[in-house]
Chain A
Amino acid sequence: MFSEWLSRLRFAVFRKHRSEVDEELQFHIDRQIEANLAAGMSLPEARRQAAIAFGGRQRTREQCREAAPSWTMELVLRDLNFGLRGLLRNPGLAIVAVLTLAVAIGANSTIFSLLSQALLRALPVRDPQQLVVLNFAGATDGHTHSEGGDRPGHHYEFSYPMYRDLRDQNRALSGLIASAIYNAGATWQSHSEAVDTELVSGNYFEVLGVRPAVGRVFNAGDETAPGANAVVVLNFDYWRTHLAEAPVTGRPISINGVQFTILGVAAPGFRSAVWGRTPEIYVPLTMQKVIEPDWDYLADHHSYWITVAGRLKPGLNAEQASASMNPLFYALREQEFAGAKDRSANNKHHFVDASRLNLESGARGFSPIREDIRTPLIVIMGMVVLVIAMAVVNVASLLLVRAANRVREFSIRYAMGATPPQIVRQLLCEGMLLGLMGSALGLAIAPETLHLLIRWMQGRAGDVSAFAPTLDWRVFAFTAGAMLAGTVIFSLAPAVQFWNPRLADALKQQAANVPGGSLRFRRTCVALQIGFSLLLVVGAGMFVRTIQNLRNTDPGFATDHLLAFHLVPELAGYPGPQVAPVEQRVLDSISGLPGIRSVGATNDSDLVGEGRGGDVYVSGYTPKPDENFDAELPWVSEGYLQTMGVPLVAGRLFNTSDSANSLKTAVVNESFARHFFARPQDILGHHFGRPDRPKTDAVIIGIVRDVKHTSLRDPVQPTCYTLFQQGERPTGLTVYVRTWQPPDTAASSIRAAVANIDSKLIVDDLSTMTDQIDQQIMPERTIALLATIFGLVAALLAGIGLYGILAYSTAQRTREIGIRMALGARRGSVVGLILRETLVLAGIAVGLTIPVAFLATWAVRSQLYGVSLADPMAYAAGILVIAAVATIAGFIPARRAAGVDPSSALRMD
């Protein structure tokens, strides 16, 4: 029984050996000959009769083979082999088609993997659909620390007391978590670096359902009295890349100079409840004073600094929970108002009556940066769709050209006895092979592309990225499947003619005349390709112009030979009163270095999209009712304005006589002065300050020219500079160093000088100003880079498509060209004939596309800067590229056509 199964298994894969069959058949014939001899025939007669009785030997052999179970497989292999040979007969075309498919599949999978992570995918936590993000309407008075994402009626930052009351008193949520992100200095085994630190509530990991990878994560008990529980949980990626997966549980790590104990490592893949945050370590909220020593947030009802999310109780939806929680929120706001300074009816209206708690679905997590990157990602996605459309059209037209060239081959094969199913099977195999090879190549390049793209978008090497380099398999499967289907369908095109009853005629005519309809179709294909590529090339031009404009925007100060780094002595454990002195020592020692022109510092980095500001008063000016004037309020060092090269308009700049203990002074820019006084100079000598903060009062001693401060895109803000030594509290600084030297040399001497003062001080993010600006315009640069790549790919595809059709149509016209030349046409005029046709086609396509390009540019105008929608440069460049591509694509077949020997062309049929 067992051997029976074994033999059946064997036969399923192999068939009987050929010689075995031959021997068996031979025996049969010999036996028949013997029988015939025995019946009295002569030997030749006996042989003849035996052979007649047996019939066709080869046919029997074949029938024996066909009886084998492995026959079907053999057929498939044979078809595949045949298909491969068919493709190899024209390898150039096959390679182009495979590459086209691979680019389309790879690009789509890569970009959509990023898009879905940012916009669609749920957080990697337990039951993300139960999560809600909290925000509220109602006035906030006091200090707000915002990451962005707020909009009128939706403040996402809560105070810690409010969070605690909501968490403990609500009845709609099974858990409410809070978190905030800060920068801190971590020292692990005598190596110090700045790390993104997420302050989280004790129940954070429990409510999200994030498990530890090593040791344990926080539980509700870790949220203790302020400052009492110095424990930390590490992010998995940070632990892997920065700590080399060292055993960490129970080990000490120094954070801002305070000893913390590592409890464990959070599960791989988890980053934060807020999408886009990339914390490297997690610390309990109650340790806020260590992470942000300048402030005391925990007990303050008017410091809004934590984002809050909750998990709905099973069976409740967000509206029901909101209805249940709003009375509680209202009551809490009333209590807060009782402690407010301004208890006017007007303020009560804004603070209490207008307050409302909103619960938004939070499966994807609250994310202030999602809105920022949504448009760039969608623009890129749009470009990918264009490239895919081009790829499909390109592969289709390539296959059709190929099909047309093979009419004769198939006619002959048909005439020789191939059945239509056999021919269809062969075509199917060719199409499948093309599609499969394209998908395989796409799969091979996609993860690497994804990796490169994430690396490129990442600020510093080794940072935890908000994007995980994992390919979205559904997208890949979908794209590859669609491309495969498209390829197979178009590769079947030649089979259509076998339903043509006039096949014999086609064969007789050498199948040279293709109906006009199909030529028109191919021309449409080429026109479409030219259109798509023009769109992409013009788009690329627009984005490249945008970066040029952003880079060349005059911020009001020179950005060359300028190095910048962050210096936050508190990250090295300096207590408040010692911060400003050590910062001054660093500035002094750097300015004493050889090759340094000047040094300046501010707590408000320039041109990196951040700002520190607030409302102000100026003595001698009465604000209009309901006036809401906010100014940028950077604290700077004495040499800052000189280092940045901000020109003085009136009065004086800070100088060495201004110190921590001297009279407090301030310098304002022209916009600031002009807001208060018609003649800007009038502001000199007046006092400036923050309402209700007497320590901020300072005399305005100078006016400087407006310079861009927050970002290159935003207009100039009214700004008031004060000295950091005279500030209310210690602050970290961004130090700017203007050098004569190459940046690398200066960088190492700066590091050495700082280490000389205290090796624990972290010189964070030391880079040139130009690099920092590049970093800030990263979305624009990413779009421009991808647009350029896609534009070039598109132009190349269009060129190939154009070449394909022209090569085919000129080959069809060999005879016509031969006649023309026999009648005296010169080679030049033949080339001109073909080229003219090409350029007319390209011209029509360009003409039709320009309005579309205009519309597309209008749709992405928010991503452009300083480029007119009809930017002549971008359009001219686009049209030039298309013209060049069309000329090259047309010239090759045109020259070949001109090389036709008239006599042989005429003799062809």
Chain B
Amino acid sequence: MSADEPTKDIPCEVVENLGAAAITVRKECTPTEQNPPMAVGNHISTPTAPRFHPPPTTFWSLRARLPQRRISILGIVGALMFFGLWETGHYFLPAEKARFLPTVEDVFKTLFYLFLDKGYTRDVLVSCYRIFVSFFAACIIAVPLGIGMGCFASLRALVNPTASGWRYLPATSFIPLLLVWFGPTDLAKMGVLWIGVLFFLLALVLDNTEAVLPELVEAALTMGASRKEVVLGVVTRAAAPAIMDSMRNMIAVGWTYLVIAEIVGANEGIGAVMMRAGRFLHVDIIMAGILTIGILGVLTDVAFRLARTYLFRWAVAQRG
């Protein structure tokens, strides 16, 4: 029945004959005096009962969904508590030891002083260059190789036993070797960062590739996909968001190797500045260096997260 038909005589019960059995189907109701309007379709009734007050969300509410405002406030409070603890530490230490734990404002002042008077910008840029170039060099090998190993069992069998062994070798133990080979060059420093990232990234990419739903591959195969299409068009695309997450986690590891990599024979870079400061007991400079690495690390993390959200809008939320 259409909407512009007269509504007065429409019966509420419409009987439909289905085969042998007569089944009564309630099809459409017209609001009349006998049939008051019901909460059906897009008609939402006005609540008549008093509002129900659930127990309020407290700090210890189990797995509660917090409003964004409260999440932000708690985050800021947490950071303030950390700086407060640090500041308190300074004032509780005896005077002769207090200079080994400078105040928060001293460290920030030193940071500005470094940037303004000591050419710290160049050190930061040199460190960033070392991190990003060595990380890129690790990705160029680990990502295609990991995907390949996830797709081809023979390649995996060929590479994996050796690569797994490498993961147990501390990257720092290669510093003497790299110094003998390359001298106190950038190559030696980036070599440490590269070794530190490469083999773990390879293991993670392999994992991400193997986690691709086998049915996606099988579906592509039953549609006549070539091997190349399966590897590049299905497996790589399906694993890409997870690989991006692995890269984000591994560049964090790269940052943690920075100071060690810049320990020997470096006169530029955040690590070099910190090591030099250490020799003269400039605790404020060391802490400013740590703070710099922390800030740069967070910025890298945010950049990777944004890139992932932008590049893989089709994917569901990320882990970690």
- A, B from the same assembly: no
A contact set with B: CB distance below 8 Å:
none
